[in-house]
Chains A and B, each alone.
Chain A
Amino acid sequence: GAVVSQHPSWVICKSGTSVKIECRSLDFQATTMFWYRQFPKQSLMLMATSNEGSKATYEQGVEKDKFLINHASLTLSTLTVTSAHPEDSSFYICSATPRSSYEQYFGPGTRLTVT
């Protein structure tokens, strides 16, 4: 099956700094990728839709200036958490769907801890 990778798998940063998370589709091209966030014991909540070559579409309540998304190529999307706060600590997961497939493939997730 298709593989989606994320880097880093975990990161600890200080409050006020920025963190970049990468999401790559390893064996297929993805014009669209999705970024989800999951707090402990809760389900995945969609943050934004990342579109190759155009601006991301953000869900209501997600600050686009705080969560910067760049989809620079057909295999890479990045999420940058700017001026991180402890409440941004969460599990961030990306997903992508190959063309002619209905299944969304998820990356392994990135656990962000802001101290």
Chain B
Amino acid sequence: GQNIDQPTEMTATEGAIVQINCTYQTSGFNGLFWYQQHAGEAPTFLSYNVLDGLEEKGRFSSFLSRSKGYSYLLLKELQMKDSASYLCAVTPRPGNTPLVFGKGTRLSVIA
């Protein structure tokens, strides 16, 4: 089976740093994605990790440990507009295959 776990909700303060964790157990692994989704909108791509380590892209960073089946998304200098759901997704097989999504973490940024 496929199982991806992430916290349901998180709250953080504007200007702070927040880390959203994701653990996965899937039948295979060919990469892990993080998407941001605002209410009523489609997901937008944030990051992709296929090798262990940290990928940094501006205020957002994503980390992967394949041996632990673990990833996190780090958001720095939080802004109010960062309030959204953050979806962790795994592609179990190489090639053009569908993503397996976690349930998403709803992040609320407060003043």
Contact = CB atoms under 8 A, between A and B. Distances in A.
B63 interface: no
Contact of A104 (B40, B99, B102): B99
Interface stretch (A40-48, A65-73, A81-89): A40-48
A63 interface: no
Contacts, number: 48
Contacts of B44: 106
Contact of A34 (B33, B48, B98, B104): B98
Q: Which applies to chain B's interface (DSSP): helix, strand, loop or mixed?
A: loop
B15 interface: no
Contacts of A95: 98-99
B42 A107 contact: yes
Interface of B: 31, 33, 40-45, 48, 50, 87, 91, 96, 98-104, 106
Interface of A: 31-32, 34, 41-46, 49, 91, 93, 95, 97, 102-109, 111
